[in-house]
Chains A and B, each alone.
Chain A
């Protein structure tokens, strides 16, 4: 292994150096405005502003709906930046050539106003844009290398396992055949020898297969086994009635969560607006789609209008709601509230919905059975920290060794979900 590692790492390191060199050249292109602070606090304050307001359309180093932002203080004056962020339309209307150029470059896409941002906010934001989340090329390269090495070093890929198993089975079968051959040769040899009665009888004894089959014990055992199997299968099947795990109906629009949530990292809450405030997470209304798709008319920068996106336009223009097929069908008799789980409990979307950011077509990841709910309520800790509501419960629970779990505060009671 060690030989292999050293062998592969040489070219990698060389390429790392090359990348580093290139990037250093690159960074020389962006001369950050010296007024922009590079303090940690400013960057982290700026990051939260960025995530809340800009992230849907912008990336730091990558062109998205809007331009890649790093270097923006070099390209434009500080004052221009502030004015553009606060109210780009005003600047464009004033005929500022830089602003108009950007506006036209990005398909006359209107950037929302951010007049609520103070001067300090803007400086923090710019600090983040210039200094935040810088991809350290050396680190990136090293990380990539490490991952590669780790992948080779710890696990055996599953296809190898299958091959090894197959080989083992073949070997075992060969051994069996060889053993059988040995027995038959030995029997032949012995039958040619002189033997006493007892040995002869032993040698001649035959396995009476028919008798075994007819024996009561055998019949009973087999019948019981078959019955057990049938009952087990029937019960298993019965338990799946109404359980639609894996249900992945085709939708009126081939919307890809993999593209939106995965590749473009659009936050779930951007579209599912109700998830932290109410019972329903909300399927986004067409006007939310239109926030971006007014401008993004096709996938991957292709020309023309994608037929799928055209369906949104059709719905929007004709005031005709999109009839999505509901995937997660909780029965009416149970009450589920997203806000309780997401806003209060801090449960990740993926906990119940699975790797949604990898789903091209969304399917029902979890069983959504009562047993599944209850299991989670048994295991999950209450997120009581900083929430005054739970103070008394935490205090009363403080004698216990275990953490305060949902089950400890009535999470298994009927009328928590059924009323």
Chain B
């Protein structure tokens, strides 16, 4: 049996059975220091006698606690009752329409806005975590002049007079999605005769530039991955970081949701260098070098042109696996396919446009008639600006919430150039790398304190509104611009006027502007209807093709660097957020670091052996710039390439991010007129002997090699047999083999009212990790910092297990090692399984963990005495122990900021206890939300409706891979998904859905969390 099965492993050390891995795997809890301040167990005992007496004495005095009501209670705010406001998250060109939950006037949680036609209720990790940045006490507390605190009147007077006499003035900004903001900037620009320069830290200039060349369109196309049967991506990480990942993830998952009624899913080919989140989800993934990518795109063009009868172009002679197959299937599905590329080279994007034209996708899956505005950056113009600034040709510069000193390829030149300008102004909210160099700092509000509007796509608008009064003496940047332009309108009126004149007239439904405004604000979004159509191509691709032939090589000898951005950190704008720093990377499962990802082959050649995060540092040198980075062996990394993430190496981000990792922006190349993230020449890497530890979470919490945690099948197998890939364990009893659930020591619970459960579709889960951050925010989960992650003490209640797997049949070491070069990847969200026969409950000596009458496994912190028996006995390894007091502890003040300073604590969810030292904690299935939802139903004297209650993970999930519901309710989504037919109050439900399974069914702990088998759209079981 074993010979036919795939081998699954979480890290290379598990695959090779490394001795440190085996040692750690056997130990439930790591050894090592369990105290930070040097006091030990004996001191504790000595102190205990005294403290007991002291505590009893102290307890006699009632602590005087104040209850301070409002003087004037706002009508809408009732203490303990949350309010929700529709708003918009936008940073650079990243966009999500959101709903902000506030308690007592404090924003504490961000959810997706289901009314948005773009983000459709989805969020990602960065959006979820952005609420913490509001409470960053290192935000600027007021305006500064030359590093000295000043006041608004002074700064306004000086900036106004100086800008008007500065000569050439440039206003530098990231993509501005807001039409009203753009108007205010334009007013300033007109008044002082300035020019606006737009760039994006993660540029997609190639696409917008190609759109102009190919079709004469301003903007980038709108993509529809849900309408595509075949998806081909050349290095575009569209599920993780590329342009609008929340939107694309939703579309992608829609195209890949599978059921007996709809046994179809899209097929996804990925050609890339680094193993990206998108590549990890692909059906066919081919590692290629960046230097080959242009040629591969040309080759695909030629292959399709051959089939369509169009003329081929010269070039494209390159050997790339699966490319011909992709071409054939694309052609067979023309009009229902999509080809995208992550390259920032306009020439490559022109060819991509031509391919989509040939495939008749133009106007269907790739829509230029309804362009998106997520990336407006113009790399060429920005480069020109940097040259001007460095040469002292710029008299005045205004930075609008951007940090090019850090996040533009030529940041160092900007840093030097700023001093040459007569006047420099920034509106940045923190004293970052750029802000610390300018003369005038007029800090903007945080986005949760601001009014604004957005136009992310032609015909799509949204609004953002303040959800809290400004915490500091900041001012909306737009208002600053208006004041400096001599316009004293406040921005809210300006915004309304703008909507009144431009958008109110576009509808006829509402005749009163105030009503129109109120409704748009309430919904958060406003859409104009528009038809999509194909856009006529203006050029042929011969120029682009010949340029590609010159720049790309089929057979490049040297090492190549592919710079990428991480799902959690992005461009590094929010890297001072400890939630994002500690979120483990979906692929490498590393936290608190960036590192050079190398292939297994490179590691072997250079004699590097990596196990349990222990590795060595290497020096990477490009064009005279050298960085010292730790090396991480990454399965799936294309041979001859290395990867390095952006967003790290901040020097002035704040106490959390400063000094974490290295800055890869410095290595980027802006010399070709666009920012090039693929460095194909002049890269040298030298492994040093300096050892280093990367805090990876991947091999923590292992199942000790138990089989069938992951159950998967190919689409073909599924079509033949809906339960393909399923494992049906049988237990022998008295002469017959029985299902494990038929044999039990327990009587079984009765759930008379509710039976809460989760259904997790592994086919939809893309591993993005939005749920992990949502859980962290909702449940006040502590951040523990790098050292404690290394000690294997991270506190996450929900983790996403990333499994690599080899093809079936691979059993010898050589075969497995080959598989490790480009493994299949499966993601499995893992949280408390709320077992009906819970092993943890039976071993707790103090009954601190018990079962509820609604199917929940309850954890009572105030009862827990910390024996950790439960964690030892948990087969899923989802219980976390509080080794330290993480709140109000100076040792964790710089990492666990949400629980350590007065401002940070404002983000805590008041309905969830902050746990003390020495207790176990774990997923509660958001019991606070369940209780609140039940109470609402009771107060309204009705039943709980499906959808009234949702867990934080399920509501954050952009792909609806996690579904929460009441399995006793015949109308609920989860009951229908699992096909539970009988109406029973028993804990043991007969589930008729063939794909649904329990992890570790054979031990019959009977979880309330069900998983759906992963289906890959492959022809046969092949890697």
Binding site for B on A (CB under 8 A): 238, 241-242, 244, 247, 249, 273-274, 277-280, 282-288, 315-316, 319-326, 329, 331-335, 337, 339-340, 343-344, 386-393, 396, 409-410, 413-416, 418-419
Residues of A within 8 A of B911 (CB): 335, 419
A322 to B941, Cβ gap below 8 A? no
B913 to A333, Cβ gap below 8 A? yes
Contact A419 B924, CB 8 Å, known A244-B62, A283-B69, A329-B65: yes
A393 to B59, Cβ gap below 8 A? no
Q: In the bound complex, what is the Cα–Cα distance between A386 and B59 (angstroms)?
A: 45
CB distance from B148 to the nearest CB of A (A): 31
A388 to B69, Cβ gap below 8 A? no
Contact of B67 among A283, A387, A410 (CB under 8 A): A283
| A-B complex: 7 closest residue pairs judged by Cβ atoms | A279-B80, A415-B858, A285-B73, A285-B70, A414-B860, A410-B853, A326-B67
Main DSSP-derived SS at the A contact region: loop
- Whether B56 is near chain A, meaning CB under 8 Å from some CB there, is yes
A388 to B80, Cβ gap below 8 A? no
Q: In the bound complex, what is the Cα–Cα distance between A331 and B56 (angstroms)?
A: 16
B938 to A344, Cβ gap below 8 A? yes
A285 to B69, Cβ gap below 8 A? yes
Contact of B942 among A244, A280, A389 (CB under 8 A): A389
A286 to B72, Cβ gap below 8 A? yes
B67 to A415, Cβ gap below 8 A? no
- Whether B604 is near chain A, meaning CB under 8 Å from some CB there, is no
Q: In the bound complex, what is the Cα–Cα distance between A316 and B70 (angstroms)?
A: 10
A287 to B80, Cβ gap below 8 A? no
In the complex, the chain A residue whose C-beta lies closest to that of B66 is A323
B65 to A325, Cβ gap below 8 A? yes
B942 to A418, Cβ gap below 8 A? no
CB distance from B4 to the nearest CB of A (A): 44
In the complex, the chain B residue whose C-beta lies closest to that of A370 is B862
Residues of A within 8 A of B943 (CB): 388-389, 391
Q: In the bound complex, what is the Cα–Cα distance between A285 and B73 (angstroms)?
A: 6
B853 to A387, Cβ gap below 8 A? no
CB distance from B556 to the nearest CB of A (A): 57
A333 to B72, Cβ gap below 8 A? no
B60 to A388, Cβ gap below 8 A? no
Contact of A415 among B65, B73, B927, B935 (CB under 8 A): B927
CB distance from A269 to the nearest CB of B (A): 13
Q: In the bound complex, what is the Cα–Cα distance between A273 and B1000 (angstroms)?
A: 51
Residues of A within 8 A of B47 (CB): none
Contact of A319 among B71, B752, B848, B852 (CB under 8 A): B71
Q: In the bound complex, what is the Cα–Cα distance between A73 and B234 (angstroms)?
A: 86
- Whether B753 is near chain A, meaning CB under 8 Å from some CB there, is yes
A-B contact count (CB 8 A): 157
In the complex, the chain B residue whose C-beta lies closest to that of A319 is B71
- Whether B850 is near chain A, meaning CB under 8 Å from some CB there, is yes
- Whether B745 is near chain A, meaning CB under 8 Å from some CB there, is no
Q: In the bound complex, what is the Cα–Cα distance between A332 and B915 (angstroms)?
A: 11
Contact of B71 among A286, A391, A410 (CB under 8 A): A286
- Whether B863 is near chain A, meaning CB under 8 Å from some CB there, is yes
B80 to A413, Cβ gap below 8 A? no
Residues of A within 8 A of B927 (CB): 415, 419
CB distance from B922 to the nearest CB of A (A): 11
Q: In the bound complex, what is the Cα–Cα distance between A340 and B937 (angstroms)?
A: 11
B860 to A280, Cβ gap below 8 A? no
A324 to B80, Cβ gap below 8 A? no
A410 to B60, Cβ gap below 8 A? no
A interface footprint on B837-865 (CB within 8 Å = 1, 0 otherwise) = 00000000000101011101011111100
Residues of A within 8 A of B934 (CB): 389
Q: In the bound complex, what is the Cα–Cα distance between A311 and B369 (angstroms)?
A: 66
Residues of B within 8 A of A392 (CB): 752-753
Q: In the bound complex, what is the Cα–Cα distance between A105 and B874 (angstroms)?
A: 76
Q: In the bound complex, what is the Cα–Cα distance between A329 and B928 (angstroms)?
A: 21
Residue of B59, B71, B79, B912 most packed against chain A (CB within 10 A): B71
Residues of A within 8 A of B860 (CB): 414-415, 418
In the complex, the chain B residue whose C-beta lies closest to that of A387 is B941
- Whether B931 is near chain A, meaning CB under 8 Å from some CB there, is yes
Q: In the bound complex, what is the Cα–Cα distance between A386 and B64 (angstroms)?
A: 42
Residue of A273, A333, A391 most packed against chain B (CB within 10 A): A333
Contact of A274 among B65, B80, B752, B852 (CB under 8 A): B80
Q: In the bound complex, what is the Cα–Cα distance between A392 and B854 (angstroms)?
A: 14
Q: In the bound complex, what is the Cα–Cα distance between A91 and B199 (angstroms)?
A: 65
Residues of B within 8 A of A414 (CB): 848, 850, 852, 858, 860, 863
- Beyond contacts A325-B66, A414-B852: 16 other A-B pairs, Cβ-Cβ < 8 A, are A274-B81, A283-B69, A285-B69, A286-B69, A320-B71, A326-B67, A333-B913, A343-B939, A344-B939, A388-B942, A389-B941, A393-B752, A396-B752, A416-B852, A418-B861, A419-B928
Contact of A241 among B59, B861, B863 (CB under 8 A): B59
A322 to B752, Cβ gap below 8 A? no
A242 to B59, Cβ gap below 8 A? yes
Contact of A413 among B64, B850, B939 (CB under 8 A): B850
A324 to B71, Cβ gap below 8 A? no
A278 to B924, Cβ gap below 8 A? no
In the complex, the chain B residue whose C-beta lies closest to that of A282 is B79
Contact A282 B56, CB 8 Å, known A413-B850, A419-B924: no
Residues of B within 8 A of A242 (CB): 59
Contact of A277 among B72, B81, B924 (CB under 8 A): B81
- Whether B78 is near chain A, meaning CB under 8 Å from some CB there, is yes
Residue of B67, B942, B944 most packed against chain A (CB within 10 A): B67
Residues of B within 8 A of A277 (CB): 78, 81, 939
Contact A241 B69, CB 8 Å, known A389-B942, A413-B850: no
- Whether B985 is near chain A, meaning CB under 8 Å from some CB there, is yes
Residues of B within 8 A of A286 (CB): 69-72
Contact A278 B81, CB 8 Å, known A335-B911, A389-B942, A413-B853: yes
Q: In the bound complex, what is the Cα–Cα distance between A319 and B69 (angstroms)?
A: 12
A322 to B68, Cβ gap below 8 A? yes
CB distance from B755 to the nearest CB of A (A): 12
Residues of B within 8 A of A279 (CB): 79-81
B60 to A241, Cβ gap below 8 A? yes
Q: In the bound complex, what is the Cα–Cα distance between A322 and B63 (angstroms)?
A: 19
B861 to A333, Cβ gap below 8 A? yes
Query: Could you name 23 residue pairs across A and B whose Cβ atoms are closer than 8 Å?
Result: A242-B59, A249-B64, A279-B81, A282-B78, A285-B70, A285-B72, A287-B70, A287-B72, A324-B66, A329-B63, A333-B913, A334-B862, A335-B928, A389-B938, A391-B943, A392-B753, A393-B753, A409-B752, A415-B860, A419-B858, A419-B912, A419-B924, A419-B931
Contact A278 B78, CB 8 Å, known A388-B942, A414-B858: yes
Contact of B56 among A238, A319, A344, A388 (CB under 8 A): A238
Residues of A within 8 A of B69 (CB): 282-286, 321-322, 324
Within B925-956, which residues are at the interface with A (CB < 8 Å)?
927-928, 931, 934-935, 937-939, 941-944
Q: In the bound complex, what is the Cα–Cα distance between A247 and B944 (angstroms)?
A: 40
Residues of B within 8 A of A388 (CB): 941-943
Q: In the bound complex, what is the Cα–Cα distance between A288 and B78 (angstroms)?
A: 14
B942 to A409, Cβ gap below 8 A? no
Contact A325 B64, CB 8 Å, known A278-B81, A344-B939, A389-B941: yes
Q: In the bound complex, what is the Cα–Cα distance between A339 and B937 (angstroms)?
A: 12
Contact of B935 among A273, A315, A316, A344 (CB under 8 A): A344
CB distance from B58 to the nearest CB of A (A): 9
Q: In the bound complex, what is the Cα–Cα distance between A273 and B78 (angstroms)?
A: 9
A419 to B78, Cβ gap below 8 A? no
A387 to B938, Cβ gap below 8 A? yes
Within B472-524, which residues are at the interface with A (CB < 8 Å)?
none
Q: In the bound complex, what is the Cα–Cα distance between A315 and B68 (angstroms)?
A: 12
Within B292-350, which residues are at the interface with A (CB < 8 Å)?
none
Residues of B within 8 A of A319 (CB): 71-72
CB distance from B108 to the nearest CB of A (A): 15
Q: In the bound complex, what is the Cα–Cα distance between A231 and B359 (angstroms)?
A: 88
Q: In the bound complex, what is the Cα–Cα distance between A393 and B931 (angstroms)?
A: 17
Q: In the bound complex, what is the Cα–Cα distance between A419 and B862 (angstroms)?
A: 10
CB distance from B747 to the nearest CB of A (A): 17
